[in-house]
Amino acid sequence: MPAYNAARYLAAAVESVQAQTCPRWELIIVNDGSTDGTVDVLGALRDPRIRVFHQENRGQCAAANRALAEAKGQFIKFFDADDLLAPTMLERQLERLLPHPNCVASAEWGRFYGDDLGTFQLNRQSVWRDMEATDWLVESWTDARPMMQCALWLIPRALLDRTGGWDERLSLINDFEFFARVLCHAERVLFTPGCPLYYRSGLAGSLSGSKGRRAIESAFLSLTTGVDHLLNRRADPQSRLACANLLQDFIYSCYPQHPDLRAAVTQRINLLGRPTIEPSGGGKFQLARRLLGWRLAKCLTFLFMPAYVRCNLKRHRETPVPVNP
């Protein structure tokens, strides 16, 4: 569990691990240079199954890699410090994996908001079943809305030893590249119903909501690298379409900003074939898209968004992630 300025939610996340019906677990928490009360929350933990490490702020991927290096278990779950696990998740996923050492286990998930689990709703998906691992990638990517959040998965340590750790160049959607790589080395995804991940949403300042230049470059690098992982395994028409749709959705999401990244992605799409994905958006955007086309509708959306959001989108002061089309 990487933890950065997670004091408000950290105790609840830890308690959801302590409540697991599987008794044989260890929780490794890496405090990634927090400046809030995270250190105090960690200092109050007294469970001998929990080990805490502190490092200077190096990012979520570096903290996850540190935790993996310290882990002693044969099965690994990465877990954000603001989410919650159903009590039976570890036990049920472990039961599925023990006879199948080259597979990974997945789970249900749903969103809740703030501290109110009464807002929780499952986000049902077609990939909630046992599947060949690359089939899972193709099906979940085709509508360009894959959920690859880290706590969904239980992974054999031997599989991670072959695939390597997290790419420390990445911040935004770093889990996309990591799990694309893992699944491209796995045989099957084994689905475990009835033990969901409770995914906390709507947090101000969360990494997933970041839209600064460095975050967009990270998304670009994660998407293009993850796509390459799949295409190196299989390049059939369904795989090519899934990759083209993902990349086209990146163009939709950052238009009209970042023309250099959009141009590089367009080159990739041209080699894959025509995408079929349409841009997402609310009712007003969809009406404008039908009347004016998606590009002009996106420009109007950008023009009329709050000024503080535009300023965040236009920031270029962060150290850039290397971009190699």
What is the pTM assigned to this prediction? Answer: 0.90
Return d(Cα 114, Cα 155) in angstroms, integer. 29
What three-state secondary structure class fits 301? helix
CB 231 within 8 A of CB 271: no
Q: Per-residue confidence at 48, pLDDT binned at 50, 70, 90?
A: very high
Contacts for 249-252 with beta carbons within 8 Å, 24 or more apart?
A: 249/144, 249/277, 249/279, 250/219, 250/220, 250/223, 252/277, 252/279, 252/280, 252/294, 252/298
Question: pLDDT exceeding 90 applies to what percent of the chain?
Answer: 87
pLDDT at 283 over 50: yes
pLDDT at 212 over 90: no
pLDDT at 42 over 70: yes
